[in-house]
Amino acid sequence: MTATGQRSAMIPTLVPDWSAGRRIGALITLRAGGVSRGDFGIAGGGEGGLNLGVHCGDDAALVQINRARLREQLPSEPFWLRQVHGTTVHYCGAPPAPGEPEVTADAAVTDVPGVVLAVLTADCLPVLLADAGRAVVGIAHAGWRGLAGGVIEQTITRMLQRGARREGIVAHLGPAIGQGAFEVGEDVVAAFNGDADADARECFKQGAAPGKWQADLYALARVRLARAGVTEISGGTHCTHGEPARFYSYRRDAMTGRMGSFIWIQ
């Protein structure tokens, strides 16, 4: 993943380094580049945070300024979702109308050029999916609940219904919490340890305390993607918890902002 945004007028972002090609646009925001402050500001609490989440406690007016700044780098208004750690996938056939309420879903797909799909994260895993040849894209908000519930598989299924080819889909894993910082209990291990998830146990390491495990979201996503027929997978190298200057992290700070991941067809 390569950093962009060297010009003063541009918000700093990450751009996936993948084989989707120029037909597919995508970017991921960082912590800096906006006007939020305090818990939602840059590391240390200073003004300059690019919090894009409207449901995490930030001043709503500042969030709208942040979103307006980001909008200048996108082809249209993003289709914002109200995320609930579920597996619902929404088809976006047009940019949202002014004042249109958020749709409750944790993933989205489109085959319409210029429609911008979006998910917000602050430790959960953003998964970007594209079949450039058939011009179909998808995006998923994948925390452990979504991964265990099949949000990636559901997103791919909706892409196939819109004309994508399973063999044509490539994936990029955006910034998420790393295994060393993500301690979970036996309930999370059990959620992945059914007959269909024989490989998932390898994605957990025994924690320091009895009954505690270190979960690897990136590895769990790769298992699910491979099972769904997606073999070209990039990204998965950051830890939001361990890079406070670059990323918000709910596990690290509790009261914090949200980064955005975005994908569209040029």
Q: What is the pLDDT at residue 199?
A: 86
pLDDT at 63: 98
222 sits in which H/E element: helix 217-227
Can you name the CATH fold of 2-177+232-265?
A: CNF1/YfiH-like putative cysteine hydrolases (3.60.140)
Closest to 144 in 3D by CA, of 218, 208, 243: 218
The CB density around residue 161, as the number of other CB atoms within 10 Å, is: 13
The pLDDT > 70 percentage for the chain reads 95
Grouping H, G, I as helix, E, B as strand and the rest as coil, residue 167 is helix
Q: Do residues 172 and 26 make contact, with C-beta atoms less than 8 angstroms apart?
A: yes
For residue 167, the model assigns a pLDDT of: 97
In what order do the strands lie in the sheet containing 183-185?
183-185, 212-215, 204-206
Phi and psi at residue 20, to the nearest 5°: -65, -25
Three-state SS at 265: strand
From 251, 248, 264, 261, select the one nearest 106 (Cα to Cα).
Answer: 261
Residue 193 pLDDT = 82
How far apart, in whole angstroms, are the C-alpha atoms of residue 38 and residue 222?
35
Examine the pLDDT at 7 and tell me if it is beyond 50. Answer: no
Residues 167-205: pLDDT tens digits?
Answer: 999 999 999 999 999 999 999 999 998 645 678 989 999
Average pLDDT over every residue of 132-151: 98
Structure token digits, residue 101:
């309420």
Q: Are 116 and 52 in contact (CB under 8 A)?
A: no
What pLDDT, on the 0 to 100 scale, is given for residue 207? 95
CA 198 to the chain's CA centroid: 25
The structure's pTM equals 0.95
Report the 10 Å Cβ neighbour count for 86: 16
Cα separation of 38 and 117, whole Å? 28
Higher-confidence residue: 199 or 41? 41
DSSP H or E segment with residue 128? strand 125-131
Domain boundaries, the chain: 2-177+232-265
* Residue closest to 108 by CA, chosen among 130, 75, 134, 132: 130
Cα separations in angstroms, 174 against 38, 62, 107: 25, 25, 14
Distance separating alpha carbons of residues 172 and 21, to the nearest angstrom: 13
